[in-house]
Amino acid sequence: MLLSDKVIVITGGASGIGYACVKAYIKAGAQVVVLDIQQGAMDRLIAEIGPDHLAIDCDVTKESSVKLAIEQVKDRYGRIDAIHNNAGIATPSKSLDLTTPGEWQTIMNVNLFSIYLTTKFGLPYLKQSAGCILNTSSMVASIGQLNHAAYVASKGAVDALTKAMALDYAPYKIRVNAVAPAGVWTPTLEKWAAEQPDKESIEQYLDDIHVLGYCPKGDVVADGCTFLLSDKARFITGHIMPIGGGAELGYRR
């Protein structure tokens, strides 16, 4: 029970990696608050995990929405031990010159500005608990990705921000880390793979980029996140943890 009695707020927790993290955190003993805009998915999630946990309809790009959500967490649990900034989008799939200003701003708002907002409103409670912050980054932050310029830029900024936050909040005993997955089978990736001309070839490609030989599901990321949020990682801060089965090494099977 690595997270026994901890209150963890996670953005984008209704599906994909976030959903796997929610399940893992609960299994490890935490009470979990999910901030998401997918109301149907959140209703199904709460039906599955039970009323001890909380799902809040929250647009993590809106100051008023995040402020209200954090107040609801305080009113319900009286404390916050960790914030996992997981909400993210990968679109548009374009080079920089083809990306519109609106597309650029949207991805930066979801992937980056949301971290500012959760930190701004959650920090007073993390100071009280000497808690921690975890950001979901990506392997592409360090190696790039074809036709995803805005996404790569946003995740590169997440890595840099993670290190800056770790330095700023260390005096309060608040740890700040990030995880950097490579390919992970989520509904978004499954949809993308199904749209490709040769689905079987794409699935083989996704297996092959990982040195360990397969493209994983979200549970492998969730296990790493559980560790980083636990006291087992009490002397780790400012770390970008690769969870890519060796994909970050650049080798191919």
Domain residues for 127? 7-182+217-243
Q: Which residues are catalytic?
A: 151
pLDDT digits (tens, 9 = 90+) for 97-114: 999 999 999 999 999 999
Q: Looking at the domain assignment, is residue 144 inside a domain? A: yes
pTM summary value:
0.95
Q: pLDDT digits over 221-230, tens only?
A: 999 999 999 9
Q: What is the CATH number of the domain that holds 146?
A: 3.40.50.720
* pLDDT, tens digit (0-9, with 9 covering 90-100), for 103-150: 999 999 999 999 999 999 999 999 999 999 999 999 999 999 888 999
Give the count of domains, the chain. Answer: 1
Give domain status of residue 200, yes or no. no
User: DSSP letter string over 102-161?
Assistant: HHHHHHHIIIIIHHHHHHHHHHHHHHHHT-EEEEE--THHHH--TT-HHHHHHHHHHHHH
